[in-house]
Structure formats: structure tokens, C-alpha cells
């Protein structure tokens, strides 16, 4: 099923972002490329925040965040309460983050995985649905900012 996918990176992952955006379009997805537009040095939080906002605004149903390691941009995306971003480096994690955690964004590290693995992760992420059921209660807790000591 084709989706609208927002994609963003920092300078370290610019080439991977461009390649993934082209591949996503070839797969029939609409792509919102949030930048950057070159390999000039940028700050990953700026692009992680842009991606999270695109999810929150409903401009995209899913997102792919990229930086050198994937760690920094995943932290930035997860600062927004509408985003559930999982750092992945292989297909099983990409599938499980959708199935169990209803992740709406994946992050990957361009310095850690190659483009073929990134495509495989993106394909697994985009083709997997949320299982709901027992997982729904847990995902709902992720969106609730109040910490309840009784349930901890």
C-alpha cells in the first residue's frame, strides 16, 4: 500500500537519503523530502524536528530519519509526542517496531548500514501493520506524559 513518507537526514546521511527517496518513489510512495539539500554540515536535531512535525501535522503517515549513526536524529524525532521513532539496522527490528510499538518513524545510521540494508528495513517497516491487541495498552502509555507510580 502506497503511503506518504517524510524523509530527513543530516549531512552524513545525505547520499543515503537521496537514494532512499528515489527508491521509495519507485515503489509508488509519495515522498516529502525535508532536507538537507547538500552534504554541507547541518545539525541533525533541526531535521529530526522537521520530520516529527510532518508526522504530527498529518502531512506524512510514516517517516524515515537518517544521520551518521541514526542515534542523534532518533532522539530528536522522539522529542515530539506524536512521533514514535525506532532506531533499526535490520529487517526484524523494522518489522517489530511497527507490529509491537506502532512506530511511525524509523531511524537508520548511514555510516553503519549500506543502502541495500536500508531499503530492506524501509520495506519491512512500510509493509507491516500494527498488531494492536495487548500492544495497544502499552503504546497508549507512550503517549501519556503522566507517570503513574502505581502502574510502574
Q: Treating both helix axes as pointing N-terminal to C-terminal, what angle do 44-57 and 71-78 enclose, rounded to 10 degrees?
A: 40
Q: Are 94 and 65 in contact (CB under 8 A)?
A: no
The answer to whether 135 is a known catalytic residue is no
List residues bridging with 64 in a β-sheet.
7, 106
Q: Which of 29, 80, 97, 100 is catalytic?
A: 100
For the chain, the straight-line distance linking the first and the last C-alpha, in angstroms and rounded, comes to 38
Q: Which of 11, 29, 67, 97 is catalytic?
A: 67
The answer to whether 11 is a known catalytic residue is no
Sign of CA dihedral 8, 10, 14, 19: negative
- Looking from the CA of 1 toward its CB, the CA atoms found within 13 Å total 8
List residues bridging with 8 in a β-sheet.
65
What is the set of active-site residues?
67, 100
Amino acid at each position: 500500500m502506497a503511503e506518504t513518507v517524510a524523509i530527513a537526514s543530516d549531512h552524513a546521511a545525505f547520499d543515503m537519503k537521496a537514494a532512499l527517496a528515489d527508491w521509495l518513489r519507485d515503489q509508488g510512495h509519495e515522498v516529502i523530502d525535508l532536507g538537507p539539500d547538500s552534504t554541507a554540515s547541518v545539525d541533525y536535531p533541526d531535521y529530526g524536528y522537521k520530520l516529527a512535525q510532518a508526522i504530527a501535522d498529518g502531512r506524512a503517515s510514516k517517516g524515515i530519519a537518517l544521520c551518521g549513526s541514526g542515534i542523534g536524529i532518533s532522539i530528536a524525532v522522539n522529542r515530539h509526542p506524536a512521533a514514535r521513532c525506532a532506531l533499526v539496522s535490520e529487517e526484524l527490528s523494522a518489522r517489530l517496531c511497527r507490529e509491537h510499538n506502532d512506530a511511525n518513524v524509523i531511524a537508520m545510521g548511514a555510516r553503519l548500514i549500506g543502502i541495500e540494508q536500508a531499503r530492506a528495513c524501509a520495506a519491512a517497516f512500510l509493509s507491516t501493520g500494527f498488531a494492536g491487541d495487548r500492544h495497544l495498552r502499552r503504546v497508549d502509555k507512550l503517549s501519556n506524559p503522566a507517570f503513574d507510580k502505581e502502574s510502574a
